[in-house]
Structure formats: structure tokens, C-alpha cells
Amino acid sequence: MARPPRFDISDLLDAAVRLAAEHGPPGVTMSAVAAAAGAPSGSLYHRFAGRSALLAEVWLRTVERFQEGYFAALESSPDPRAAGRAAARHVVAWTRAHPLEAGLLLYGAQDFGREDWAPEHRRRADEGNRRVGAATAKLADALGARDAQEAERVTLAVIDVPLSVVRRPLRAGTPLPAHAEELAERCTDALLSLRGDGASAT
């Protein structure tokens, strides 16, 4: 029925990921993506409504790919501590397997022009955030968190700490150290084991 595409969406998004990892979101210009993929600019505009749409798709595809395994890890065990450790390992392992895409996780949706996104893209982003919030809230509950501060510590433990472990190497472009998974797991576990009364300090 029609001519087959020489550059499909995923080719173009792959090129955009490379550019974003190397030069940050501002490096993802339509002309740069076209050049990187070897495609004419017309093909880009045939696939994406405009630059905001491309930025939204590259960001959302990356986050959703990451979250897929992340949620699986968070639900991999009935023991919340074990689940948290698995989640921490997942963040590091996924970064090891997908270093370019992981580079994007260090940015926020705002850096990908969230304010210019179409409603549908915003909705997808909100949905992802909602799922993350729900998952960490459930974990916090299972761990017996009693107030906002304790819930926030759970979020810190299972999301922010693992991301911090990979941040420096990703920024510097150096490979992750061999023990990164172990480091993330143990730090996450340490925060999950804290309790509200502050009794753990020496």
C-alpha cells in the first residue's frame, strides 16, 4: 500500500538519544538529529509534529523503558527490604546496559521542554510519576513508615541514592566501577533500615 520507511521513529529517537547523552537536551536540534540519522529534515517533520514532540518522545520512551524493569524489581519480593535492594541494583545494572539512555535520566522533563509538550505527552509523564509515587508509597507502607519524612526517606533510598551512584560516572563519561551495584544496594538498604526515633546514631 505504500512506500516502506527508510527511517522509522525508533531510528530517529536512537539518534536523538545519542545527541542528548553527548550534548544534553539543547544538543537535540532537528537538524542535528537529521544529520546524525542521515535523514533529511523533511523525514523528521513527517514523524514528529515539531521539536517539542521529538523531545517529549525521546524522554518518555527512555523513562518508560527504564521504569518497566524498575517496577518489576520493586515488586520482585514480598520482603520490602529485599525489593528495595533489587530496585537499587536494577538502576545500576540498567545504566550499565544502556549508558546512553541512562544519561537522560539525570535530566528532568523540564529540560526536555515539558512546558511545550502536547497534552498527551504530559499525560504520559504524569502517569509515570503517579506510578512511581504509588510504588514508593506502597513500599513505605510495607516498611511501616508513619509520617511524610519516613516516606520521603524511602523514596530517597530506592530512587535518589541509586541514581546518585551512577550520576558521576555518567556525567564524566567514565564506565561504572565494578562494585557499583553492591554500593547502591548497601546504601539503599542502610536508609531503609533507619527508623524514625533517630536511635541509630552512635
Partner DNA sequence: GGGCTTCTAGAGAGTTCTCTCTAATATTAT
Partner DNA sequence: ATAATATTAGAGAGAACTCTCTAGAAGCCC
Chain contacts with a second copy (rule: CB under 8 A): 24-26, 81, 108, 110-111, 148-149, 152-153, 156, 160-161, 163-165, 167-168, 171, 177, 179, 182-183, 186-187, 189-191, 193-194, 198, 200-202
Q: Which among 27, 35, 24, 31 has a CA at the least distance from the CA of 107? A: 24
Does 130 sit near DNA (CB under 7 A)? no
Helix segments in 48-160, DSSP class H: 51-74, 80-97, 99-105, 119-142, 148-155
The residue (of 100 and 194) whose beta carbon lies closer to a second copy is 194
How far CA 129 is from CA of 60, 63, 79, 108, in Å, comes to: 11, 10, 23, 12
Find out whether 46 and 9 touch, Cβ atoms under 8 Å.
no
Does 7 sit near DNA (CB under 7 A)? yes
Cell digits for 65? Answer: 523503558
Stretch that binds DNA, among 29-37, 79-87, 123-131, 185-193 (CB under 7 A): 29-37
Q: How far is the CB of 8 from a second copy (least distance, A)?
A: 29
The residue (of 1 and 148) whose beta carbon lies closer to DNA is 1
Does 41 sit near DNA (CB under 7 A)? yes
- Among residues 22, 24, 51, 152, the one that binds DNA under rule CB under 7 A: 51
Report d(CA 104, CA 201) in Å as an integer.
36
Residues in the chain: 202
Residue 94 burial (C-beta neighbours within 10 Å; 0-12, 13-18, 19+) = buried
Which one of DNA, a second copy, none interacts with residue 31, CB within 5 to 8 A by kind? DNA
- Among residues 14, 22, 24, 52, the one that binds DNA under rule CB under 7 A: 52
Stretch that binds DNA, among 33-41, 140-148, 151-159, 161-169 (CB under 7 A): 33-41
Report d(CA 18, CA 133) in Å as an integer.
29
Q: How far is the CB of 2 from a second copy (least distance, A)?
A: 38
The residues that touch DNA, with contacts defined as CB under 7 A, are 1-8, 29-32, 39-43, 45-47, 50-52
